[in-house]
């Protein structure tokens, strides 16, 4: 009986060690994320890679620190699959093919609240054993530059609500426009030309987020708009 118990324990330990050895976090990533309180898509990323030995699927868990500012809300995307805010345990297992990588994106919506807090993103077996983990720190503060604040104030998306298209005011410095649904799924990204309008006629009714990037590659502003079928 004791021998069988030792064999079971050894098998469990071997499984955890094997998975840990095969699943790894890719190097040269930034896990200190800065953002502003009005940006509902402050983005943290963890890029992981599977080794050369086939492994079973695994789960993940997002652990929020006790010092999280009131109003902060996280949401997770695994590759192109995104979950609603507040889902902090994997609704389905993750499977990565041998020698392939997968991107885990952790969006923070600070809801206008400044602060600093760290989450712990845990990768674990389907039986609950931890494989590895990674901390990501979010530093949310108001832009200190008067020039930056003035630039943001001048950028307006109109009409809003919109039925079929939108324009952007004071858009001379905008180089790229991206639109995401409220869960963070990218709907489209276009290189921008001054005066260009964007069609959303085929979108479902609801709220969307528009990210504006300037010619230096810097994120200028994220604007929420409402797509409606009502004239």
Give the global pTM: 0.57
What Å distances lie between residue 14 and 6, 96, 99, 129, 171, CA to CA?
12, 20, 20, 12, 58
Give me the mean pLDDT over the 135-139 stretch. Answer: 92
What pLDDT is attached to residue 54? Answer: 62
Q: What is the pLDDT of residue 101?
A: 93
Query: Is residue 64's pLDDT more than 90?
Result: yes
* Max CA pair span of the chain: 78
User: What pLDDT shows up at residue 229?
Assistant: 87
Domain boundaries, the chain: 22-140, 146-227
CA–CA separation, 205 vs 19, rounded Å?
43
pLDDT at 114: 87
pLDDT at 153: 55
Over residues 73-117, the pLDDT tens digits come to 999 999 988 898 999 999 999 999 988 999 999 999 999 898 889
- Contact predicate 48/104, CB 8 Å: yes
Confidence of residue 219 (pLDDT cuts 50, 70, 90): confident
| pLDDT at residue 145, as a whole number | 43
- Integer angstrom CA distances of residue 133 from 25, 59, 84, 119: 9, 12, 22, 10
Equal fold, 22-140 vs 146-227? yes
What is the Cα–Cα distance from 87 to 212, expressed in whole angstroms? 27
CATH of domain 146-227: 2.60.40
Tell me which CATH code domain 22-140 carries. 2.60.40.10
pLDDT beyond 60 at 21? no
Antiparallel, parallel or unpaired: β 42-50 and 101-109: antiparallel
- Residue-level pLDDT at 55: 67
Instruction: Give me the DSSP letters along 78-138.
Output: ETTEE--TT--B-SS-B---TT-EEEEEEEEE-TT--EEEEEEEEEEETTS-EEEEEEEEE
pLDDT higher than 50, residue 135 = yes
d(CA 13, CA 55) in angstroms, rounded, equals 15
As a whole number of angstroms, the distance between CA 21 and CA 49 comes to 11
Quote the pLDDT of residue 231: 64
């Amino acid at each position: 009986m004791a021998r069988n118990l030792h064999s079971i324990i050894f098998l469990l330990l071997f499984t955890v060690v094997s998975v840990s050895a095969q699943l790894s976090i890719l190097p040269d990533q930034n896990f200190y994320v800065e953002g502003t309180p009005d940006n509902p898509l402050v983005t943290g990323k963890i890029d992981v890679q599977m080794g050369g030995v086939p492994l079973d699927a695994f789960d993940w868990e997002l652990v929020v620190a006790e010092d999280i500012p009131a109003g902060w809300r996280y949401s997770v995307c695994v590759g192109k699959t995104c979950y609603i805010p507040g889902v902090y345990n994997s609704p389905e297992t993750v499977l990565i093919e041998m020698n392939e990588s997968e991107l885990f994106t952790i969006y923070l919506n600070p809801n206008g609240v400044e602060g600093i807090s760290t989450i712990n993103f845990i990768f674990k077996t389907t039986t609950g054993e931890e494989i590895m983990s990674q901390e990501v720190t979010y530093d949310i503060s108001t832009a200190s530059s008067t020039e930056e604040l003035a630039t943001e104030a001048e950028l307006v998306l109109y009409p809003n609500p919109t039925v079929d298209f939108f324009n952007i005011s004071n858009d001379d410095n905008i180089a790229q426009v991206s639109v995401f649904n409220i869960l963070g799924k990218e709907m489209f990204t276009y290189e921008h030309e001054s005066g260009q309008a964007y069609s959303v006629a085929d979108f479902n009714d609801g709220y969307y987020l528009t990210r504006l990037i300037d010619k230096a590659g810097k994120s200028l502003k994220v604007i929420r708009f409402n797509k409606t079928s009502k004239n």
